[in-house]
Structures are given as structure tokens and as C-alpha cells.
Structure 1
Amino acid sequence: MQTAAMVPVGQQESLRTQESVVARAMEAPAPAPATDLQVELIQDYKSFIELETPWNRLVDESRIDHPFIRHEWVRTWWDCFKPEGSLFIVRVTEGSRMVALAPLMVDRGRMYGCPVRRLRGIANVYTERFDFIVTSRPEESCRAIWKFLASRSKDWDVLELRQLSPAAQALMTIPRMAIDDRFLVGTWGSTRSPYIPITGTWDEYGKGLSRKYVSNLRGRLKGLSRLGQVTHEVIQGGEGLSQAVDDALRLEGAAWKQKAGTAIVCDPKREAFYRRMMLSAAQQGSLRLYFLLVKNERVSMQISLLSHNKLYLLKSGYDPRFAAGAPSHVLCWRLLEEAWSLKYDEVDLLGAVERWKMNWTDDVRPHSWLFVFPNRPSSRFLHSIKFRLLPRIRSNFAWRLLLKCGALIGLKVHDE
């Protein structure tokens, strides 16, 4: 789960780093616009559904290795969250072949109290990564997308693309193209997501972990073993899938999230999304639903997806009755050992840096949000607040205190 403007200061990239992202994007020379690429806007739901096969072909050809931009993920998101906006999917074709997609939508929101018309990715805090889908001729395809968006800039106040990795096509091309056309551009540091490269042997990896942490894990496992046999299982589909999904959602909120109102099951749209996403992933063969069992009782779980030989960990949870045995940590231990034995390339812990994640790795992947504003008075005002005023006062103690107080009474810097 991720946010932009509300990320703690210690978890944000510096303003200098963010500016360097735009600077690097500006280094590439601007080629002449391609004349053989056609751009089409898709706004109706039926046409969106009919794109499934070519959409996923494009994802595979573009070598996007995460599942968060595949058609089934985006469709599930749209159907379950039912946003108050409309589709704005930009398709680029070369002859009869689709070569690029920008999965966007338009809606209305607020930024620093001001109403804005947002052109943004089809995503929210549950979409861990985003990008344009581009195969051949990436520079020309992104330029075609940008020129189309710029030609309609009278209809939007801000282009907002969240959770872009440093290698995202949108981040590498759109800032330079927008600046060339005299638009206002800024990037905002979001989450640094821990990940574990699967290299070397399992024993070598284990020796690199904290001895104290490993010793503690072994002690917790012994404690659980006194209650009964400790095993784990991986559900990928089959007859028991429905019960497994129920158990996963129950465990996700059991410890404290349900009481705090943040559990998946506390929001009908959120619950519908995760249920449907897991069922869809099982059909696609990408679901990996891990459970730790004590005496055949499921006591902790990890919802994960396998994509391009990388395992993405979405949500975890445990039964608080077994908290003394740290079942989530023990399950992660088992999960990682299996990832080594199956020769996965990587385990991505997703989300922000947290202490439990950093017990397993030192590697993190930064993400940015990209904002593009048309160069007109109202948008210049918002750009100045976000990228000139706020960076100067953000480290100020009074500002951090104001953010915390605002959060307590339900105020947001801008819509998520």
C-alpha cells in the first residue's frame, strides 16, 4: 500500500534526487514525431473489455515483470472500486498492430483544497506499481501518447502517475516531452519497497542474516512446535480455494487491523477487489496463497502473486492467539526457503520500508509519483505549492506536527 504526499519525510527521496530524475529524462534528444503511428482514445467499458488479449500480449512483449498493469488486474480494480470517473485509455497502433497503451482515467479530486480535474492512472493505493505499456519504438510511442494528452490539456488540470519505478517508460520520457512543450513538471518521492534478490544458495543467504534474528526465529518455531506439528501449505487453486480465500481475509484482519478499521474486510469494495483478484489470479495460474499451520490449523497467511518468476507479497496476517510464536515471521522464513528451492529470481516485499521487512534484506526499490500541469495560472499555483513551497517547509517540525494533527481529524494533503 502506498501514498505520495503523506509519506514520512524519512521515507522520501530528496528533492535533489527527484530533480535528477527529470534531468536524466531531458538528456535524450527529441526525435521527429512519427507519422505512421495512430492514436485512439478508448472510453467505453465494452471496448476496454475487448482489449484483454492484445493488452496482455503487449504487457508480455514489453517485459513488464509485475502483475499490477495486466488487464485482469485493471479490470478487477475498475469493477470493484467503481471510481467516480471515466476511462481514458490511449492506444497507439502501427498499422493493425498495437504497440503502446496508456491505461488512464479522468476524475475530479482536490489538491490542497482546490478542486482539480485529474488525468491519472487506473490505480489507487492497492496498485503497487504503474507505467505505460510500451513495446517497440518506445520513444516514438510515448511521444505519440504525450502529444495526444497535451492536445487535450484544456480538459484536465493535472496528469498524475503514481508508483513509477526508476525504469518506468513514463518516467523516462514524459517529463522531458512535457517540459519541451512548456508544461510544468514535478516528481514526488513515494515508497521505497524492500525486495530480496534470489542469488547464491539458501545457506549463504541465511548466513547473511542477523544471527540474533535467526536465533529468535528458531526459538519462536520451537514454541509453536510445542503446540503441535508446524507445517505450511501453498494454495494455487482447486476445490479448497474458496475456503482458503475466506481464511486469508479472516487472518489478515485478525490481529489488529479489523479493530482499527483498516482490514480488507472493513471495506466492501476493498474486500470485493481482493476476493476477485485472488480468484482471477488462480485462473491465470499466478496465485500463491501461503499458510502456516499449527496442528493443521491455519495461523498465519501471505497473499502473493507469481509473475515472470518473481514473487510479489501483497498482504499478510496472523491469528493473535499464536502471536508469541511470531507465525508471520516463521511463514516468511518458510516462504523464502521455498523461493530459493524453486529458483525464483526475486521476492518483492512491496509497500514501504518496515522493520520486519528489513530483517530480510538491505535492498530497496524507490518509486516516484509524476505530476504534469498545463501552464496556466491555476495550475502554476498548485505546482508552486507542491514543488517550491512544500519542499522548503516539509522537514520543519511544525509542519510534521500539522500533518499528524490533520490526519487525526481526517484532513488530507490531497486525495489518494
Structure 2
Amino acid sequence: MPVKDRVSIGNLDISLVKALEDLDPHATTWNALALKAPHHLPDLSHAWISSYLEHQLEAGEDWFCIFVHHNSTLVGVLPVIVSPFKRMGLNCHKFRTPYNDQTASVDFLVKPGMEKQIIPLLLSQLKQMQPVCFCFELRRLPECSPTLAIINDGLKKFFPVSTFDGYGSFVKIEGSFDEYKARLGTKYTRNLRRLERKLSALPGVKISFLTGESLTEQALSRFMQVEAASWKWAKGSALCQCESLGFFYKDLTDRLANLGWLEWHFLEAEGKLIAAHLAIRVNRSLIVLKICYDEAYSSYSPGTILFEKMFERAFHSGEVDEVNLLTDYSWNQNWQVSKRPYYNLYLFPFKPLPIIAGYIPIQMRLSFRRVPAVQKVYNICSQHLPWAGQKRSSKEKGTALHIL
């Protein structure tokens, strides 16, 4: 790439990293900066990004990471994946932040208050690194993303397009647990009591909330075992069915445990684990990353019971302001969730091919979908024609629009 690995602009030092081992010296300050971001998500951390880059790249992809220091203090991080593809018979490249079924919401990581200075600077560096880049793509950004605010204020050298990408569910931890249960409704709380009585008839019922470095490998192995006994095995999405996925979560949970961010929530009965959560604490937010239960015990609804106990713990601890479920599945509504919108962002440079083959088509598609009759036809086609519908990850549920 036609750019220096290190450059200074005023009192800002910009460095480029292309090797995994060169990320590690930044780990401590990077993770600390992630804790200051308004997203309250672990995806922005060194722990997550380094695990992704080692185990989750697609064939043919490359990566680099840009760091910005202000007077020797880290103030900006941008991990970038370089993805090759063809458009109009031409070999093209797009830049994107890390994203797949396991990873979402990787945004510009910038010291609060410096976004208007650092984000345009990082975009300028991207443009220099690959002048023929087709676009820069950031997926599933929450509405609190400073990047969305910067883009809305106007951006030089890029045509921006944002598309709605559905909602994510969360529960605000406010008031008492009894008040929260009252909001769930009489019918649902009655059902919870019935399930608890039924479960308590089993021998050896035990609920554990585990943290600590030494628990990681054993806990992950136990989680994977119960996940293999769940619906995820039939779906083909269990961690033990994909070697690279297993390695990714092994490294990720090790790093998160070392930071003190990792939690395991376990429900046991009859001497075995029957439901589990992999959760992450980022400041005062608890992110429920993965859940599973043993289908042999489905009549006991162990996943529901573990969810209730997780909320009870959150309300009683005084240490959690929000439980973030990330998803927007129908069963989330049972827990009286609130919702926040997410958006995809595409930045097209001022070049003929990106404008003709990228920016104009996506704008036309968005315009057509605002027409009710066209939207109805599109929805019908999406259900019956595989080439007509948009791709969605298993984490998402919304109106995501893939253009590449």
C-alpha cells in the first residue's frame, strides 16, 4: 500500500500495524479506550479484534490496523479488513471493519470529544492507502455511534449511505426486581413460578455465576458440551462443529477473563449442566453473548429459569445499569425489553466505478423500497426467490441491505 507505516500530523502520530504480534503492545491502552466508548460493547476491544483477526478472516482477505496517538496517548484505533470481490468484471477491493455472525458493531474507536478530528483523519488515511477502494463498510452501528453523527454533519471525499439494520433488545436495570417482575405480567410470572417448582423437583439443582481467569478453559468446554445438546447442533452452529470458531472463542474468552470482563452463568441439575450463558461485563453493561440449553430438559425451560435468575442478580447487585441481549427475537419480548436501532454505513469514494456501480444502485434500491407497492413485491420475492432477498446474520433481524 502506498503509505508510510508511521506519519506525524501536528501533535498526532499515526501508525500502521499489519502483524498480530504488533497489536499486543497496544492491548492495555486499547482495551482502556474501548471502555470509554459510548457503545459499551466488547467488540471494540483488543481482546476481541485480535481474536477475530487470528481466526475469523475469510479466504483471500487481508487486514491492517491504524493507531492514532496524541502526545503519546492512544486516542484512535481502526481495524480494517481488505476484502477482494468482482464488480462489472473488474477486480475490486472494499474496506470493512470486522463483521460476521459472531462479531458486530465494530466502529471507529476514538477518545470521546476527539471524534470530529480523528474520524476524518482516519478516513483520509484509508483513502491514501487504497485509492481504488470500492467502498468502506461498517456494519450494525448502534444509534449512539459517533461515526453516524459525524457522517450526518457532512463528509468530504466520500458519498455516505446508511441503511436501517433492525433492532437490538436490552433491559434497563431500574427500580427493584419485584417491580420488574410485576411488569412481566401476572400470566408470565405465574408460569415462571410453575417452572421453578417443576425444576426444583430434580435432584442437584444449582445456579452459578462464575468469573475469574482460572475458570475459562473448563467453563468453555462445559458450555460447548451443553450447546452440542441444544438446537444449535442440528442447525450446524454449535462451536464444536467449527474448528476455527472453537479457537476464536478459546482465545476470546481467555483474553476477556484476563481483563475481568467475562462471566459464565450455569444451571445444573442431575449432575449435569443443562443451561448456560456466555456473558461479558463492559463497565455497567452486561452483554449476553451466547445462550444454550440441553434439549433433553426442554420441558423444564431451563433457559427461561436461568434468564430470570440473571435478571434477579443484575437488579440485586447494584453494579449493572443494562442487560444487553443484542438480538431482537420474538421471545425477547417476554422480558419487557426496550429496543435500540442499528444501522449499516457505506462510504463510497469520489471515483467513477464506486459511484456508478455502488452508490447510485443502492440509492435507487432504497428509493424503490420506500414505495409501498414496490416494498410489498420485494417482500414477496424475498420469501420465495433466493436471489431477491437480503442476507442476514443469525444475530440480526431487521431490514439489512447488502450491496456487495
TM-score by length of 1: 0.83
What aligned pairs does 1:269-308 form with structure 2 within 5 A after superposition?
Answer: 269-308=244-283
Aligned to 1:185: 160
For residue 160 of structure 1, the aligned residue among 106, 114, 137 is 137
Describe the superposition over 1:105-157 as per-residue Cα deviations: whole angstroms up to 9, x where unpaired. 21214679986411111332322322211115221122211222234452310
| Percentage identity across paired residues of the two chains | 23
The whole-number CA distance in structure 2 between the counterparts of 1:389 and 1:225 is: 54
Are 1:325 and 2:300 matched, yes or no?
Answer: yes
Q: Indicate the SS of the match to 2:149.
A: helix
Verify the 8 A CA contact 1:67 1:307 in the aligned structure 2.
yes
The whole-number CA distance in structure 1 between the counterparts of 2:70 and 2:123 is: 16
Aligned to 2:66: 90
Verify the 8 A CA contact 2:66 2:79 in the aligned structure 1.
yes
Aligned to 2:108: 132
Verify the 8 A CA contact 2:98 2:104 in the aligned structure 1.
no
- The alpha-carbon distance between structure 1 residues 235 and 109, as it changes in their structure 2 partners (threshold 3 A), is farther
The whole-number CA distance in structure 1 between the counterparts of 2:174 and 2:247 is: 37
Aligned to 1:339: 314
For residue 103 of structure 1, the aligned residue among 53, 65, 79 is 79
Aligned to 2:188: 213
Verify the 8 A CA contact 2:20 2:54 in the aligned structure 1.
no
Verify the 8 A CA contact 1:112 1:414 in the aligned structure 2.
no
Q: Indicate the SS of the match to 2:336.
A: coil
For residue 261 of structure 1, the aligned residue among 222, 227, 236 is 236
Verify the 8 A CA contact 1:107 1:119 in the aligned structure 2.
yes
Verify the 8 A CA contact 1:68 1:127 in the aligned structure 2.
yes
Are 1:49 and 2:28 matched, yes or no?
Answer: no
Q: Indicate the SS of the match to 1:213.
A: helix
Describe the superposition over 1:133-191 as per-residue Cα deviations: whole angstroms up to 9, x where unpaired. 1115221122211222234452310100112111212222145443x33x221111113
Aligned to 1:368: 343
Greater shift after overlay, 70-79 or 382-391? 382-391
Aligned to 1:149: 126
**Alpha-carbon deviation of 1:229?**
4.5
Aligned length: 380
**Alpha-carbon deviation of 1:196?**
0.7
- The alpha-carbon distance between structure 1 residues 249 and 332, as it changes in their structure 2 partners (threshold 3 A), is same
**Alpha-carbon deviation of 1:221?**
1.7
Gaps of 5+ in 2: 1-8, 392-400
For residue 379 of structure 2, the aligned residue among 390, 397, 400 is 400
Greater shift after overlay, 60-69 or 268-277? 60-69
The whole-number CA distance in structure 2 between the counterparts of 1:260 and 1:277 is: 23
Aligned to 1:389: 365
Equivalent AA in structure 2 for residue 332 of structure 1 = F
Equivalent AA in structure 1 for residue 375 of structure 2 = N
Aligned to 1:356: 331
Describe the superposition over 1:340-382 as per-residue Cα deviations: whole angstroms up to 9, x where unpaired. 111111110112x112211112311111111011233321222
For residue 77 of structure 1, the aligned residue among 49, 52, 75 is 52
Equivalent AA in structure 2 for residue 310 of structure 1 = S
Aligned to 1:377: 352
Verify the 8 A CA contact 1:42 1:48 in the aligned structure 2.
yes
Greater shift after overlay, 206-215 or 53-62? 53-62
- The alpha-carbon distance between structure 1 residues 404 and 272, as it changes in their structure 2 partners (threshold 3 A), is farther
The whole-number CA distance in structure 1 between the counterparts of 2:88 and 2:295 is: 40
- The alpha-carbon distance between structure 1 residues 161 and 74, as it changes in their structure 2 partners (threshold 3 A), is same
Aligned to 2:396: none
- The alpha-carbon distance between structure 1 residues 163 and 396, as it changes in their structure 2 partners (threshold 3 A), is closer
Are 1:118 and 2:94 matched, yes or no?
Answer: yes
Verify the 8 A CA contact 1:287 1:306 in the aligned structure 2.
yes
Verify the 8 A CA contact 1:153 1:374 in the aligned structure 2.
no
Describe the superposition over 1:55-94 as per-residue Cα deviations: whole angstroms up to 9, x where unpaired. 2233244465221111011111111114432223222222
Aligned to 2:41: 66
The whole-number CA distance in structure 2 between the counterparts of 1:289 and 1:254 is: 18
Structure number with greater CO (CA < 8 Å, separation at least 6) is 1
The whole-number CA distance in structure 1 between the counterparts of 2:40 and 2:389 is: 36
- The alpha-carbon distance between structure 1 residues 359 and 109, as it changes in their structure 2 partners (threshold 3 A), is farther
Verify the 8 A CA contact 1:111 1:414 in the aligned structure 2.
no
Equivalent AA in structure 2 for residue 336 of structure 1 = F
- The alpha-carbon distance between structure 1 residues 287 and 112, as it changes in their structure 2 partners (threshold 3 A), is farther
The whole-number CA distance in structure 1 between the counterparts of 2:246 and 2:11 is: 44
Verify the 8 A CA contact 1:110 1:415 in the aligned structure 2.
no
- The alpha-carbon distance between structure 1 residues 101 and 239, as it changes in their structure 2 partners (threshold 3 A), is closer
- The alpha-carbon distance between structure 1 residues 361 and 154, as it changes in their structure 2 partners (threshold 3 A), is same
The whole-number CA distance in structure 2 between the counterparts of 1:55 and 1:362 is: 31
Describe the superposition over 1:174-225 as per-residue Cα deviations: whole angstroms up to 9, x where unpaired. 45443x33x2211111131110111111111111112211111211222222
